[in-house]
Structures are given as structure tokens and as C-alpha cells.
Amino acid sequence: MRALVVEDDPVIADGVAQALAKAGIVVEHASDGEEAEHLGATEPYDVAVLDLGLPGRDGIAVLETWRKQGATFPVLILTARDRWADKLAGFRAGADDYVIKPFRLEEVVLRVQALVRRAAGHAHAVITAGPLAYDTQLGTVTLEGMPLKLTAMEHRVLAYLIHRAGRVVSRTELAEHVYDGDTDRDFNALEVIIGRLRRKIGADAIETERGRGYRLKR
Amino acid sequence: MRALVVEDDPVIADGVAQALAKAGIVVEHASDGEEAEHLGATEPYDVAVLDLGLPGRDGIAVLETWRKQGATFPVLILTARDRWADKLAGFRAGADDYVIKPFRLEEVVLRVQALVRRAAGHAHAVITAGPLAYDTQLGTVTLEGMPLKLTAMEHRVLAYLIHRAGRVVSRTELAEHVYDGDTDRDFNALEVIIGRLRRKIGADAIETERGRGYRLKR
DNA sequence: GTCGCCGTTCAGCTTCCGTTCAGGATCATT
DNA sequence: AATGATCCTGAACGGAAGCTGAACGGCGAC
């Protein structure tokens, strides 16, 4: 884990940094808005701790810049100001949590960990097989980055093959996983699906192991 | 979006429920720990608001049970107790945020929305999908900058789709998140809503994945 | 009360795709 | 090479999935 701490007061900055480090987080530090903007927009952090009371550039403006540049890491805001308007502005700018000074270091660590934990919950789970990539979250399959247009049945078959890429999958096994329950299994239906898939993803992507089943090239 | 509010004080429960409802969130309510445990473990909520001061079963225990059962929705904890130990225990048990009583209803709504948004993987308070932009705090949707006039139901459906933009959303999933647990679900009602949405935001914005669901273009 | 809005229901229709069929191609075995 | 088994494929069918216009009915506003 990698965190950016934006804080001009060296005492607070040091305290937060050490507390986070003790929790196993790699900490980098920016002491003014410009440096913060640059680092946050270019480096891949997992979380940022941002003080609003910066000299010069406003913390909210820094956050807005980050978000405009496409940074998605969660941001915990530190502030001495307890005013409603600040909270609102912070949330609107894309902050994820708030801690009011003075605070306990443990609280900051806990909240940072909570943010990281939740943000990690949607790391994209992508399974690849050769030029194919199956995004389990989006429910889409791409071929060399290009999204494939698949029917429901084709999708089910290909998804299963990708999960078992490199292994021989018998027709029986395929049918069991692709059809629910007690459908009459005529393998010819599957053969047709395989054929249509081959036309979409390349004829040699799915190999036939005669008498044993199919194998998707890895 | 669908939220579970766990709160034994009917006044607070009602206030929170109404505030969330006004923000377009479907709210269900549990007034004791047992009911809360059961609902949270079986129904697919997008967020839960949990009071720690429950009669009988402890709120922390409820949360622990949820997490043990694999519930992943974010949890906002309400508590009158401002003691450090409670916060710690709450975060340990898998809470995502904290609000101390007495609180402003707006703050709860704001934090709930931030949690939902973050849980869906969005950093900024304004979520965009193609020409659409959804302001999670104002609750407004714009199409190429022009504000859209949507009915309550259209709003709920579109908001959910925007949170899941690019993903295939099954009719079942959609129904589960825009209706409360008691309503009979006839997909045809959803089809009509989708049709009306398409007329407002463009026919090709929402793609039909036959046999799998809908997908809002990103 | 009465009016208007909106969520739902219904019926009819269109589109799509999973399956079937028949014939052909390919392979293993002798 | 012959034969039988296995697998492929183009075409077509039929039913399911989804769309839509219209109308109903409930509910809140005035």
C-alpha cells in the first residue's frame, strides 16, 4: 500500500506518516499544494491524506485537480475547520472521509485502512487467455482489447472455457456447466455454438481434442 | 439504491428513512438486532445505517455477523457513544464510516451517498457515463449538460445503471435494487421504464444483452 | 371532490438466437 | 484404401425474450 500525506505542519505530517508506516503503509509526503497536485496526478497511490489548511493553494482545489486528472484513489481530509460548508465542498470535490483536528493518530490510521480496504473491493478481476480477456465485473469479453459481441449462450460457453483455459474440457463437462439442470443434452447444439465462437475469436483459438473435448489456447 | 436502516428509536429511524427516501433511496427498516441480522444477510442492500445502541443484541455483533456471512455493502454506524473503544470495535468489525449523535440528517445522507458511490468504484461525487452525468448529492441527472426531467422510478433505475455503467445488469439485480423487498417483481414494468428512459436519453444509451440484462454505455 | 401524474398491467408484435437437421469433412483403425 | 465414428457447418425453424402503445388505477395536490 502506498499513501500520500499532504500536510504543511511538519509535526503533524511526521506523526501521521509514522503511524501509517507502523501499519505497513509506504508513505510519501508533500508539504505544499503544488507538489501535492503533481504527485497525486502522476503517481499511483492507494490513498491520500489531505490537509485543507495548506499555505497558498487550497486543499479543495488540489483535490479537484486530482479528480479532474482522473485520479481515483480515496481521499481522507484533515481539517481544523469544522464548518458545514467545508464538509460539503470536500465531499463534492470527491473526498471520501473527514477527520477534524485535533485527532487521534489511531483514528486516522483506522479510517485510512477502511478506505483502502473498501477501494480494494473493486479491483478488476480480469482473466486472460491468449488474446482474450474476460472481465468478471463488467461481464464482457474482449479480443485484443476489442469488446466482443456475444449471445448469452456463446458468452456462457466462452466464459467457462476461459476459466479452464489450457485444459481439455469434455462436452459433457461443458454441457453440465452451461445448461441448468435437466436439459436434454444433444452435443450438436454445443458444436454449433463452438463453431460460431470460432468465427468470432479465430478458428484456432479453440482446439478440438478428438474424442476428449475442447481446449481453449492459453 | 436500497438501504437498510437499523435503529430502535422510531423518531430517528423515521427521520433517517425519510431523508434517504427523499434522496431517491429505497429504505427498509429493522428495529432490533435479530431482524437486522436476518435482513442484512439475505437481502442485497447497497448500504446500511446501523445504530450501535440496540436493545438486546449489540450493533457490533450484528455487523460482525453480516461480514461473517459475506455481506459486502458499506456500513455507516450511528452512535451516541463517543468512546474510542466503540469506534475501534466498529472499524474492526468492518464498518466504513461513523456518525456521532446528535447528527444532522443531511450529514447522514451525504455520507451514505459517498459510501454508495465509493462502493461502486467512483471517486468523484459526479458520476459520468457517456453524455450522462449524475450528481450524487444533488440527485440530478444531466444529458450533455442539460438537466433531465425524470420520474421517481426512472431516476432510481438510471441512478443504479449509472453506478454500474459498463456492466451488464440483470433484470433481477435491477429489480432487487430499485424495489423494496415486499413488492412483486414483474420485469415488464422494468421494461416499460427502460423504454421511457431510452426515449429521454437516447435509444442506444442502454443496450440490451439478450438473456443477460441491460448495460448502460460508458 | 376532482384533476393530473405516474407506476403498472395487458396484449400484440418484432426480433433474435438456441436448437435441429442433413449433409459433408476429417480422423482413427484395420 | 475402406469403413465407421466423430466432428463441423450452412440453413431453417420455432419459441422465447424483449419492446411498445394504450389503458387502468392508485395516490397526492389543489
Confidence of residue A183 (pLDDT cuts 50, 70, 90): low
Report the Cα–Cα distance between both ends of chain A, in Å, rounded: 31
Residue A77 class from Cβ within 10 Å (0-12 exposed, 13-18 middle, 19+ buried)? buried
Q: Which residue blocks in B69-179 are alpha helix, DSSP H?
A: 84-93, 105-119, 152-163, 171-178
Q: Which residue blocks in chain A are alpha helix, DSSP H?
A: 10-22, 33-42, 59-68, 84-93, 105-120, 152-163, 171-178, 187-201
Residues in chain A: 218
pLDDT of amino acid B55: 75
Contact A94 B137 (CB under 8 A): no
The Cβ of residue B165 has, within 10 Å, a number of other Cβ atoms equal to 20
Contact B123 A71 (CB under 8 A): yes
Spatial neighbors of B6 by CB under 8 A, at least 6 apart, are B29, B30, B31, B33, B36, B40, B48, B49, B50, B51, B54, B59, B62
Kindly report which listed range (A150-154, A174-178, B182-186) carries the lowest average pLDDT score: B182-186
The Cβ of residue A156 has, within 10 Å, a number of other Cβ atoms equal to 18
Residues of B contacting chain A (CB within 8 angstroms): 72, 74, 84, 87-88, 91, 95-97, 104, 107, 110, 114, 118-125, 137, 166-168, 209-212, 215
pLDDT of amino acid A123: 65
- Sign of the dihedral defined by the CA atoms of residues A43, A48, A49, A53, in that order: positive
pLDDT of amino acid A57: 77
Q: What is the pLDDT of residues A75-105, one digit of tens each?
A: 999 887 666 777 778 888 888 888 888 888 9
**Cβ of B48 near strand C (distance < 7 A):** no
pLDDT of amino acid A85: 75
Contact B134, B141 (CB under 8 A): yes
Q: What is the pLDDT along chain B (218 residues), one digit of tens a residue?
A: 999 999 999 999 999 999 999 999 999 999 999 999 999 989 999 999 999 888 768 899 999 999 888 788 999 999 876 667 787 888 888 898 888 888 999 989 999 999 999 889 888 889 999 999 999 989 999 999 999 999 999 999 999 999 999 999 999 999 999 999 877 778 999 999 999 999 999 999 999 999 999 999 99
Contact B125 A94 (CB under 8 A): yes
- pTM greater than the 0.85 cutoff: yes
Residue A195 class from Cβ within 10 Å (0-12 exposed, 13-18 middle, 19+ buried)? exposed
